[in-house]
Amino acid sequence: MYQHLTIIGNLGKDPDMRFLPDGRAVTNLSVATNNVYKGADGQQVKETCWFKVAVFGKQAEACAEYLARGRLVLVEGRLKPDKNTGGPRIWDKQDGTKGASFEVTATTVKFLGGGGNGEGRPKREDDDLPGDIPNTGVDGWGDDDIPY
């Protein structure tokens, strides 16, 4: 059996790092991917899919230090199903509608889109990152829409 997931999306909030009892770092990232298409009625439909990403070890420390809300990232890893449902985590939005998020255990996180975070953070000298992919931000989505 084999499972491999690759997503490219923007961070919905700043990374959250903590340490496990064994001393390993773990950083949680909230990554949003957007899909825009025309619905049956011809109207444009925008879907956002949220991924809660757990990154471990030295990579977790680098993510916590160099990433910020709005930053474009590529994440490779595997899906971790909800213990209760076997699928995505279901949650209630503030407007009363349902939302879903998927949990991912990262094997690789690549920083994309240059050194900025969409909120004016200047590029650091040691941010040696590709700058040819635009930092698109999490357009139209506020903190209330982020499930975690």
The confidence score (pLDDT) of residue 83 equals 85
For the segment 46-96, what is each residue's pLDDT rounded down to a tens digit?
998 889 999 999 999 999 999 999 999 999 999 998 888 888 888 888 999
Q: Residue 106: pLDDT above 60?
A: yes
The confidence score (pLDDT) of residue 69 equals 96
Summarize the confidence of residues 87-112 as an average pLDDT.
90
Phi-psi category of residue 114: left, alpha or beta, with phi > 0 → left and psi -120 to 50 → alpha = left
Q: Count Cα atoms within 13 angstroms, Cβ side, for 51.
A: 25
The confidence score (pLDDT) of residue 114 equals 67
For the segment 114-137, what is each residue's pLDDT rounded down to a tens digit?
655 444 343 443 344 333 333 333
Structural domain tally of the chain?
Answer: 1
Go through 34-46 and write b for each residue having 16 or more CB atoms within 10 A of its CB, e for each that does not.
eeeeeeeeeeeee
For residue 46, give its domain range: 5-145
Using DSSP's 3-state secondary structure scheme, residue 30 falls into strand
The confidence score (pLDDT) of residue 2 equals 81
CATH number of the domain enclosing 129: 2.40.50.140
Residue 148's pLDDT band (cuts 50, 70, 90) = very low
How does the average pLDDT of the chain come out, rounded? Answer: 80
The confidence score (pLDDT) of residue 115 equals 57
